[in-house]
Amino acid sequence: MKMLKKLLAVVLTGAMALTLLTACGGNAVRDKDIADALNDIVKSSVAAGKHENYTFKPRADEQAMAKAIAALPESDRNIKGGELSPKVKEILGINENGANKNNFVWYGSVFADEIGATGQAYHAMNEILSENAVKNKPEGKKPADIRYIGTALGTMTIPGGKQTTVRIIVVTAEAK
């Protein structure tokens, strides 16, 4: 068990080091790159006995949602008091008559400037894809093992008024 932990630490350290060398610009990262990096994180977590075994797959529907959210004015994208704006709920299809009202939906953004796919995936896994961060969670159900992902670049104003590039990430999974 100790050897497995040491091996896992070396693998994760290597993966993080590679983010410094590959796809430094946020524009060079594709949905497939993020999905592959998330799958690597899940596999290493499963090996350590931490998470269920599920798979991320890029899909056009989720990418269209991410692009539509990225096109919104920043004030309409923000989460206020833990609630999504009505426009974001409509885009995600989690409103009363939405296409995803019975599916699990995760949504958020991560900084994209100067970090590659693995860095963005790592932040997404920790900040967006936790069980506590689910934006739509059907009662008494669990998410399916296939998680569909779509991303789009947008901008966000950080404290001090500086504009920075963010990657909007939308993930869905059928409820089972």
Q: How many domains does the chain have?
A: 1
Mean pLDDT (the chain, rounded) = 83
pLDDT band at 4 (very low <50, low <70, confident <90, very high): low
The answer to whether the Cα torsion of 133, 136, 137, 142 is positive or negative is negative
Distance CA 157, CA 61 (A): 27
Distance CA 62, CA 33 (A): 15
**pTM, two decimal places:** 0.79
| Cα dihedral 13, 133, 170, 73 in deg (nearest 10) | -110
- Better-predicted residue by pLDDT, 101 or 6: 101
Which residue range is the domain that position 141 belongs to?
A: 2-174
Residue 135 near residue 125, CB atoms below 8 Å: no
- Better-predicted residue by pLDDT, 53 or 117: 117
Q: What is the CATH number of the domain that holds 85?
A: 3.40.33
Q: What is the pLDDT of residues 47-87, one digit of tens each?
A: 566 657 899 999 999 999 999 999 999 888 877 676 888 99
Per-residue pLDDT at 11 exceeds 60:
no
**CB-side neighbour CA atoms (13 Å) of 16:** 8
